[in-house]
Amino acid sequence: MKVFKKATALLGSVLLLTTLFSATASAAEEKRFDFKDGNYVTISNVVSTKKVEDVGYGDTKYVVQAPATVTFHGKLSEETQVARWDDLESIGLVDIKDGKAVLTESAEFGYGVFPVFEGQARGDNKPILLDVVGGGAAAPADEVKAPEPEAHAVTQAGPVAAAPTAAKVIVDGKAVAFEAYNIDGNNYFKLRDLAMAVNGTGKSFAVGWDAAKNAISVTAGQAYTAEGGELTASAELAARQATPTSAKVYVGGKEAAFTAYNIGGNNYFKLRDVAKAIDFGVTWNAEANAIGIDTKVSYTE
């Protein structure tokens, strides 16, 4: 599964420039990034760095002079991607051939390198954020000017792109069809679909809605009452726009910090947020391209 495929332009739009470049090198150089199990990534023509707002991907963005080569040292999972953010609605993907991706031109909101090596799960490695500048001969770092802050940058409150989740979903050993989406590398499911899928197990939970308070309630340990339409998946899904859900969520009477989006009139919740609140296991099998939900075990990060 390409977990970041058309995932979102959110990252590029929320990385607001907070400081100017720090001149860390007098000329372009190759930089190495070490990851788990001896795997690493090298990036050529790094000329400087700048600090950005940390929205979960670190606060450092590396400035590289085009053409720059991203080289992956280690056997890659198919989830590895180099994403290019050209606008706020979608992303492009840079071809990775023989473990290398070549960056030849700038992108309005920069690039993200998402390394996932064989035997690793998505999220094991932090992405590397890049800005590509210029072309031809490398320029000294002190000649590289910081770009102006993006005039159209938005915060996390803005709409993002959601791509259909291509992975299979296995619940307690059985395949279950969900209509799910991937946003920023995370899978989002309808809350009622999840409640229906685990109903009758030790991790059953009830879902309630209070229109007057614009609030969703989740009660662990109670049977779920179906409303109709749960676990109904469209034959062909397309990329959609997702907007943050305004409703509050209460788990066991206490307000919970769930990440949720409204897509096509339905609320979608981050799978791991729900799993953590209800305490069921979530796994990822890259070889089988499958998400596992296991109600017999507790949630682990």
pLDDT tens per residue, range 75-105: 998 889 888 877 655 567 888 999 999 998 8
Determine the 3-state secondary structure of 39 from DSSP.
Answer: coil
HSE (side-chain half, CA atoms, 13 Å) at 147: 21
Which H or E run includes 273? helix 271-278
Q: Compute the distance between CA of residue 142 and CA of residue 289 in angstroms, rounded to an integer.
A: 46
Q: Which long-range contacts (CB under 8 A, 24 or more apart) does 180-183 make?
A: 180/268, 180/271, 181/237, 181/240, 181/242, 181/261, 181/263, 181/268, 182/3, 182/4, 182/5, 182/7, 183/7, 183/8, 183/10, 183/242, 183/261
Beta bridge pairs of residue 73: 40
pLDDT tens per residue, range 117-133: 998 887 788 899 998 88
Beta bridge pairs of residue 72: 41
Determine the 3-state secondary structure of 293 from DSSP.
Answer: strand
Peptide bond into 67 cis (omega under 30): yes
Number of continuous H segments (helices) and E segments (strands) in the chain = 3, 23
Q: Compute the distance between CA of residue 86 and CA of residue 94 in angstroms, rounded to an integer.
A: 12
Name 173's Cβ contacts closer than 8 Å, sequence gap at least 6.
none
Q: What is the pTM of this model?
A: 0.50
**168-171/290-294 β-pairing:** parallel
Q: Compute the distance between CA of residue 110 and CA of residue 249 in angstroms, rounded to an integer.
A: 34
Q: What is the model's pLDDT at position 113?
A: 92
**29-34/281-285 β-pairing:** unpaired
SS3 content of the chain, % helix, strand, coil (to 5): 10, 40, 50
Gyration radius (Cα) of the chain, Å:
21
**Residue 163's Cα: distance from chain center in Å?**
11
Q: How far is CA 196 from CA 20, 37, 178, 208, in A?
A: 50, 39, 11, 13
Tell me the CA end-to-end span of the chain in Å, nearest whole number. 20
Q: Compute the distance between CA of residue 191 and CA of residue 202 in angstroms, rounded to an integer.
A: 17
Q: What is the pLDDT along the chain (301 residues), one digit of tens a residue?
A: 444 443 443 344 334 333 333 333 336 789 999 998 899 999 998 988 888 776 666 788 999 988 899 999 999 988 898 888 776 555 678 889 999 999 988 887 788 899 999 988 877 888 999 988 874 333 333 333 333 333 333 234 568 888 898 889 999 999 999 999 999 888 999 999 999 999 999 999 999 988 888 899 999 999 999 988 899 877 777 888 889 988 899 999 999 989 999 988 889 999 999 999 999 999 999 888 899 999 999 999 8
In this structure, what token pair is assigned to residue 121? 């799960």
HSE (side-chain half, CA atoms, 13 Å) at 17: 21
